[in-house]
Structure 1
Amino acid sequence: MKKIFLASSLALLVLASCNKDKEILNTLNDYNINQQNKGYHFGDKLKLPQDVLDYAEAVTITYNDKETSNLTIDPNIFSLGENDVTFNIKTKGGEVLTQDATINVFAKVKPREISYEVVNQYPHDPKNFVQGFQLDGNTIYESDGQHGESRILKYNLGSTTPIASTSQPQEIFSEGSAIVGDKIYQLTWQNKKGFIYDKSSLKLLSEFAYPAEIAEGWGLTYDGTNLILSDGTKNIYFLDPANPSKVVRTIAVASNTTGYDQLNELEYHNGAIYANVWQKPIILKINPVNGEVTGILDLTNIAKQNTTGNDDVLNGIAFKGENMLITGKNWSRIYELIIK
């Protein structure tokens, strides 16, 4: 009888312990879901429920193979936007409970609403699926995508007739491009490599492999020192043009309320990165130091005039002096805007 009683008591203790574990994890989950919507800022302290802290001997957070016991949103650990983490709770009973969660980190300052005025329009070949778009002097350099139609070309602003053009093989889907001195760098979407051309003739000079952490090529620009690349995630990568297979540094992008991914065509101008967001009629102005969105240009009215489906979206940013040129995939117009 004693053995039965002891076994029953042990089973009840185990059951009680399991129920308590579930209760603590549910409490932590409720807290994380509530905070996911609110978000954090760098320097904020995670105020975990007291029940969780009382039950735990130690709490750590794992993110990107880093584990920290500092429950503060540290920019050395986390990045702007979504951070998929794991909470590790070592209980006073010696068990380790884990729970996955998303920590959203937002910028502290609200971005400015950038206004504009359309001051000119130019023709654009509607067959061109624009992926990269730059202006140098009066010459547009454009990278066009789609399998079997990908190419790099240049033409005079106001004309749609190419001065020079180099096509890609069938298996290549071209993406963003950037002017670096007397060369043009061009990305590919999923081919894990980029191309370098002579700027004058558009003759292919060489190829380069992507850094391991970059799965896809999306947008590309140049700040005078580094190539700046987007890959469809929240990240923007800085590469050395002399060795574009190596990442120099990385930023992630967010405003005070929203973490952004699917960053597409890029342009660098006057110390800021401008970025299209795939299938959104907006352009973000981004601080290249920390990834914070400092301004948003809403181009809904122009996009409505040119977009009929899911593919013919706003995608193309260049600068003509201090005025911005914009276009889109398969658009028949390039617009010149005064930015206010």
Structure 2
Amino acid sequence: MTEEFKLRVFTEPQQGATYDDLLRVARTAEAAGYDAFFRSDHYLKMGSVTGEPGPTDAWVTLAGLARETSRLRLGTLMTAGTFRLPGPLAISVAQVDQMSGGRVELGLGSGWYGDEHTAYGIPFPSLKERFDRYAEQLQIITGLWATPPGETFGFEGSYYTLADSPALPKPVQSPRPPVLIGGTGKKRTPELAARFADEFNLPFVDLDTAVTQYERVSAACSAIGRDPGEIVRSAALVLCVGKDEAEIARRAEAIGREVPELRANGLAGTPDEIVDKIGTWRERTGITRLYLQVLDLSDLDHLELVASAVAPQL
């Protein structure tokens, strides 16, 4: 059975957004029929924007949205493993899963943005250590969730040790909330995805890069005897859609980008152009979910245009 193709909204609140801004976007997305609302997990702006009024915490945000939405899936692309200890993160995600009635997904990465760690006093180890810790974090979080009620969980690694953990609370979703892994690393990323991922996401890459990386993940699955078809394939691309060239140009200017660059590297153009580009991605990569990176969170008409003029053609 082929999974239905799903459009998801992906926001970057570190660029400057309040919780209320995100709530408006999430409610608009839910009313318009999108499958999910995801957000980045960053504490510092990127590029020339001011970032004001400052960052919002990803899991605090999702906890609030869990109570103020009813259908949307909710998740992170990606929570940084450097930000939170694995045990408390498993607790937070399980709690938000309960608060949402089982609508949460955990995107987890190793962490990469050094400046935000410096800005807020977060340790930032070497890349090798971050990945070593990341592998242990995935083992711990999935292990805690998989521990049967009444039993305890233990783990002894190079960086984390858990003893006699009651492995509570349990998430609503069974066997667990979906775990998303992503990135273009050639060896360790595909290996970790094969072991732990329910979904593999590629953000802001070209088609050829995507095809090659999905093939690496499939090969890593086959190497450990896992069916590669068990892992959902998804991608994230920046969104800039308009009914005509003037509207496309206005939306590109609002996010500080050029239309030709967006057409080449993102999802920019008229609704029909977007449908064609998504069709090419689906045909070549087999993705069944697409995360639309929405950078102007005040432009709710943008979301509604895609929902009314693009989604029905998919």
Q: What's the TM-score once normalised by structure 2's chain length? A: 0.28
Q: What's the TM-score once normalised by structure 1's chain length? A: 0.27
Between 1 and 2, higher relative CO (CA 8 Å, sep ≥ 6) is seen in 2
Higher strand content, 1 or 2: 1
